[in-house]
Chains A and B, each alone.
Chain A
Amino acid sequence: MAKSVLQPGAVIDGFTVGECVHSGGMATLWSVTHPGIDTPLLMKVPRVAEGEDAAAIVSFEMEQMILPKLAGPHVPASFGTGDFAHQAYVVIERIPGETLYQRLPELPLRYEEARAMVAKIAAALADLHRQNVIHHDIKPSSIMFRPSGEAVLIDYGLSCHKHLPDLLQEEFRLPYGTAPYMAPERMMGVRSDPRSDLFSLGVLLYFFTTGVRPFGESETLRGMRRRLWRDPQPPRKLRPDYPPWLQEIVLRCLEIDPVWRYPTASQLAFDLGNPDQVKLTGRSEKIRHDPLSTVWRRRFNRGVLQPQATSDVALQLASSPIVAIAIDTSEGAEQLNAALRVTAERILATLPSARLACVNVLKLGRITIDRMVDEQGNNKHIDRMVRLRHWASPLKLDANRLTVHVLEATDPAAAILEFAAVNQVDHIIIGARQDSVLRALLGSVSAKVATEANCTVTVVRPSRLAVSGAVATEAARQEAS
């Protein structure tokens, strides 16, 4: 294996090495340039020397395999890799600024700031999981933000990719990662559950809003294993003004059994984006952690957290979509709304972890200043929400699977599209307006949504009247004979 002889001015595969910008335990980072590439670049070079941890090499190999497979705003763009036979490196885009680690002295953050920030990280995680990657090392120093606001996840040395060999599978006898953030199932050797990342993000959210790490800083295996049975102190015990919705979200992320956490990062991002819609349970009210009897049951009842059969990232995501359904609450839409309900029912029946967001657009005039209160003094906004809940009630969904949203906009299609994009909606269900006069005048909302959405769209039409169907069949028969 070639020894690293990196120094400023060296040229490796066309990359000219500049200054060393960081020297860490596992790797050094150098600024590099390449003719024809305008993006600021970083070359990451592993520390490979006699007596160095073999883990550093394997982690680096994993990063070399995964980084070139990733795309999008939430990961650093990758520009080249070099292997251990010559000079091991990866060249990635240099994200300006610092990692979240720099903010630790400011903790705890204001609730609103932490909420908005963690929502962005959850959106980034959702994008990563969609690319079949579990990060496995979510912590402040793995997170940066682009100047445009998107969270960027860095450091893929412990990650696994569903379509690539997991080089770390036999590498470590002990769980490997950052102790305070590691999910309990990782102690059992489970590396295939994307919800492990949601646990780590929950640790971060807890830490950033309370200033205290929920499971301390213990690096010993014994200390780390405690989280298999011992739940953290509820944040409200540390900060009495802690919002119930935020405690609900944090403690759901920190559930010991992954089954009780959010099923996907998108659903977590959704709740962080809509705090007024978070379904509060007993979690939100806790002021002390679980009684000893519960803890002992977890500790000595072996069945509580057994390593699960391999769960599949893609399957997990596919079974837990966010479905948005656009409902027209005006008079005369009953038939269409019934058809929409039938479609929603079919989709939700097959996907028990799916959640349904009922959306209605309160159309604003383009020029006039709209009154939010009607002639009788009723609030239009609240009235619409009541109607949405009424529409959804026959579906008999758990409260944590249903949310209602009234959007105020001049352009209904644009409002629905924006809602879907912001909330990472996987599937939009929308009715097609049957009134051809109205459609000719206003244009088709469903057509615009179906054309421009970046997710699946189902356009629903009410079933035709039985009579006209029979007539059509009869006509067809006569034509055929």
Chain B
Amino acid sequence: MLLAFFTDIHANQQAFSACLEQARARGVERFICLGDIVGYGGDPEWSVETVMDLVASGGLAVRGNHDNAVAVASETMNAEAQAAIEWTRGRLSAAQRRFLAELPMSLEEDDRLYVHSEASSPPRWRYIQSSSDAARSMIATPAQLTFCGHIHRPTLYSMSVTAKMTSFIPTSNAPIKLLRGRQWLAVVGSVGQPRDGDPAASYVTFETKTREITYCRVPYDVEAAALRIRANGLPPWLAERLMVGR
């Protein structure tokens, strides 16, 4: 079965719909959201509604720190992120807020773990910035494959049976077979706010039969997404960073 993983959508309707369209055209049968549906972007209602629909039709979703901040109001964030969270909270319906509040912190399926940040302590929202961060996460889970987001920069880590690490910046559209002899951790890039210097939206497909992962990039209407941020009076930097993917 061909799965698609989306993470850090951040209420960017233009980016998310472009990714969904490409994924459907590529034959994706099941959609998994790795959290941070909201925050930063100008279309939180549409984004949450879309993920709710995907989950209703057999998809899965886990909770990100921005989803958590909207739902439980106790997260500490920087000023810009906090402004977006306050605004988002006012926009969402009670049902949408409840959906975010009830999202699980992580999910396991076969030999795969889905989590927003990393596996060693999901509520601490730690970033995976290096091989040693990735190793800490992999040691903490029996799952052979971990799919996560949070850092907004696509990277693929692996750990051999002798605990040797590899890290790799994936090339888009070049499938990689995740060999069974080692543990893998796939950091999925952000749909709605890429930070690796490429403004194109990012997601991942995974074929369960062949165990091939493909990192995908989708160009989308960045101007329109930036306009939505400005039109809603959100901090202008949130619009500007979309243009440069930083």
Contacts and interface: CB of A to CB of B under 8 A. Distances in A.
- Which DSSP category, helix, strand, loop or mixed, fits chain B's interface? loop
Contacts of A65: 176-177, 179
A83 B166 contact: no
Interface in B84-99: none
A61 B166 contact: no
Contacts of B176: 65, 163-165
Nearest to B174: A163
A171 interface: yes
A449 B156 CA distance: 44
A289 interface: no
Contact of B168 (A57, A61, A85, A166): A166
B181 A170 contact: no
Contacts of B180: 83-85
A58 B156 contact: no
Interface stretch (B39-47, B67-75, B157-165, B189-197): B157-165
Nearest to B211: A83
Contacts of B165: 170
Contacts of B167: 165, 169
B129 interface: no
Contacts of A167: 158, 160, 166, 182
Query: On chain A, which size bracket covers the interface?
Result: 20 to 34
A165 B166 contact: yes
B208 interface: no
Contacts of A404: none
Nearest to B158: A165
Contacts of A166: 166, 168
Interface residues of B, number: 20
B32 to A, nearest CB: 22
Interface string B108-137: 000000000000000000000001000000
B232 interface: no
B171 interface: yes
A83 B182 CA distance: 10
Contacts of B160: 54, 57-58, 167, 171
A78 to B, nearest CB: 12
B180 to A, nearest CB: 4
A171 B181 contact: no
A171 B180 CA distance: 18
A170 B164 CA distance: 6
A133 interface: no
A54 B182 CA distance: 13
A226 interface: no
Nearest to B144: A85
A237 interface: no
Given A165-B156, A165-B158, A170-B166, A61 B179 contact: yes
A164 B182 CA distance: 15
B171 A163 contact: yes
A162 interface: yes
Contact of B181 (A61, A165, A169): A61
Contacts of B179: 61, 64-65, 83-84
A151 interface: no
A167 B177 CA distance: 13
A158 to B, nearest CB: 15
Given A57-B181, A65-B177, A85-B180, A171 B164 contact: yes
Nearest to A68: B177
A392 interface: no
A124 interface: no
B23 to A, nearest CB: 21
A377 B170 CA distance: 64
Contacts of A64: 177, 179
A323 interface: no
Contacts of A83: 179-181
Nearest to A86: B180
A88 interface: yes
Nearest to B156: A165
B182 A61 contact: yes
A56 to B, nearest CB: 12
Contacts of B170: 163
Contacts of A162: 171
A174 to B, nearest CB: 14
Interface string A60-100: 01001100100000000000000111001000000000000
Interface of B: 131, 156, 158, 160-162, 164-168, 170-171, 174, 176-177, 179-182
10 closest A-B pairs by beta carbon, nearest first, are: A165-B168, A84-B181, A163-B174, A83-B180, A85-B180, A163-B171, A165-B166, A54-B162, A170-B164, A171-B164
5 contacts: A1-B181, A58-B164, A84-B180, A165-B167, A165-B176
